[in-house]
Amino acid sequence: MLIGLLAGVLSGFLGVGGGILMVPALVLLFRFPQSAAHATSLAAIVPIGLAGGISFAVAGEVAYLPALVLSTTSIAGAVLGARLMARIPERSLQGLFGAALLLAAVRLAL
């Protein structure tokens, strides 16, 4: 369960949710099916994002207007994404996640 701690550090450090660490851990170490790993990762992301977000907010490092606009559409997007999952086979979901990790790597390295 060190994974949770690591995901949190990464999340607070880089401003991301930590899912790029938790999903691989759940699939590769805990043998979760891809879909369950994605769903469970989101459950953990809620408190992690909250803790990180509050830390930044306390330091005054938050832009509230963009946050509000982004949240409005991202909530609808998340529900759509969750629905979309039912139409995607596990294997394709794995491929999509792998591709997303590679893109994330490129973005982090730059």
Smallest separation, CB 89 to other proteins (Å): 9
Q: How many residues bind other proteins (CB under 8 A)?
A: 100
Backbone CA torsion sign across 81, 97, 45, 13: negative
CA distances to 50, 70, 89, 91 from 74, rounded to whole Å, are: 16, 6, 24, 25
Instruction: Output the six-digit token pair for 20.
Output: 């790029």
Spell out the residues 6+ positions from residue 51 whose beta carbon is closer than 8 angstroms to its own.
8, 12
Task: Please give the residues from 6 up to 65 whose contact with other proteins meets the rule CB under 8 A.
Answer: 6-20, 22-24, 26-28, 30-53, 55-57, 59, 61-65
Q: 75 to 94, contacts with other proteins by CB under 8 A?
A: 75-86, 88, 90-94
